[in-house]
């Protein structure tokens, strides 16, 4: 097996997110972003992480980390958009509503908008992956009795919606670039885990797929929700939808623990569990160019702990 495809001896807890013309990296103590400005320079920012006791509580940390990732991710995504567009373009694109929010509520209003946007994202996800598949399966059942096949029809629709959505958005120019930065993030983390110097040349040789990716997490959430759906009653569509929403926190919590195990251990079981998510990353990541890798290096170097063991997964 080649060096690039072998299992790294060290696995870091550092993770990241692709941004607009940049990357966010979150380490054990600090979070940093690196964004390419219109003039070609890389803008960097670094913030101290807030540490909470529940981050170590098994089956509790998953749900809260998921919510925190949504809010934090949206915050950094909006920040990267501001930096990458530049002040002149930003002022031209700023709507009257944005200006009204800034004037009336200031920073508090911005936080409220971010929170509402995150909630809207969760609501849309529930509609797409719970309400629509359950509704379609119920309609089919009205014409053809599907019995125990209902769960698997719903599950197939969920996966089809996810893959179809990912594939469709990947064709958009802006999202295509975002997915290239996603690849740069993964390759940079892989280079660090391999114990090699973070250079463009070293990073370019690494694989762009990683078992701890958010893409893999989303897919595991869907697969676990399919298994949970298999034991839910199917007599009432409304009851079935309600139970799926009520069990969602449990599904997220269990999925988080599974993704942690897959990121920590390398064996036949974890490789089998990780395989579908790694396959989906063929859509959600692309090979980056050197300028994107430079952004990833800039963000990564700011969050690497002084003692390597402090950042062990």
The band of 233, judged by pLDDT with boundaries at 50, 70 and 90, is: confident
pLDDT digits (tens, 9 = 90+) for 115-168: 676 677 778 888 888 889 988 988 998 888 887 788 889 999 999 999 999 999
Is residue 148 within 8 Å of residue 226, measured between CB atoms? no
The pLDDT value given to residue 272: 93
The closest of 22, 14, 16 to 181, measured between CA atoms, is 22
The residue behind tokens 């697969």 is: 223
Surface-to-core class of residue 47, CB atoms within 10 Å of its CB (0-12 exposed, 13-18 middle, 19+ buried)? middle
Rounded CA-CA distance 198/151 in Å is 46
| Residue ranges covered by each domain of the chain | 16-48+56-311
The residue behind tokens 């509503």 is: 97
Task: Find all residues with CB under 8 Å of 169, minimum gap 6, and list them.
Answer: 175
Residue 313: strand, helix, or coil: coil
pLDDT digits (tens, 9 = 90+) for 249-305: 999 999 999 998 988 888 899 999 999 999 999 999 999 999 999 999 999 999 999
pLDDT digits (tens, 9 = 90+) for 74-124: 889 989 998 998 755 545 545 454 554 555 555 565 566 666 766 777 788
């Amino acid at each position: 097996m080649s060096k690039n495809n072998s299992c790294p001896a060290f696995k870091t807890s550092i993770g990241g997110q692709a941004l607009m013309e940049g990357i966010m990296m979150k380490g054990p103590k600090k979070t940093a972003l690196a964004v390419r400005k219109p003039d070609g320079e890389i803008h960097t920012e670094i913030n101290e992480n807030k540490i909470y006791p529940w981050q170590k509580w098994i089956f509790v940390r998953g749900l809260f980390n998921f919510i925190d990732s949504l809010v934090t991710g949206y915050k950094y995504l909006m920040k990267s958009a501001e930096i990458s567009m530049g002040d002149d373009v930003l002022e031209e694109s700023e709507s009257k509503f944005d200006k009204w929010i800034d004037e009336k509520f200031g920073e508090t209003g911005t936080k409220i908008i971010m929170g509402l946007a995150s909630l809207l994202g969760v609501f849309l996800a529930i509609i797409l992956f719970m309400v629509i598949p359950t509704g379609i399966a119920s309609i089919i059942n009205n014409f053809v009795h599907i019995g125990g096949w209902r769960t698997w029809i719903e599950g197939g629709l969920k996966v089809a919606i996810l893959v179809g959505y990912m594939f469709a958005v990947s064709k958009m120019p802006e999202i295509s670039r975002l997915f290239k930065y996603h690849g740069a993030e993964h390759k940079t983390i892989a280079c660090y885990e391999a114990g090699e110097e973070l250079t463009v040349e070293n990073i370019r040789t690494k694989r762009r797929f990683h078992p701890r990716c958010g893409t893999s997490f989303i897919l595991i959430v869907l697969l676990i929700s399919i298994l949970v759906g298999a034991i839910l009653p199917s007599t009432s569509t409304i009851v079935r939808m309600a139970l799926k929403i009520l069990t969602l926190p449990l599904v997220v919590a269990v999925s988080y623990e599974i993704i942690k195990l897959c990121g920590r251990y390398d064996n036949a079981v974890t490789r089998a569990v990780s395989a579908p998510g790694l396959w989906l990353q063929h859509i959600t990541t692309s090979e980056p160019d050197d300028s994107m890798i430079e952004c990833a290096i800039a963000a990564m170097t700011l969050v690497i702990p002084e003692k390597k063991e402090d950042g062990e997964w």
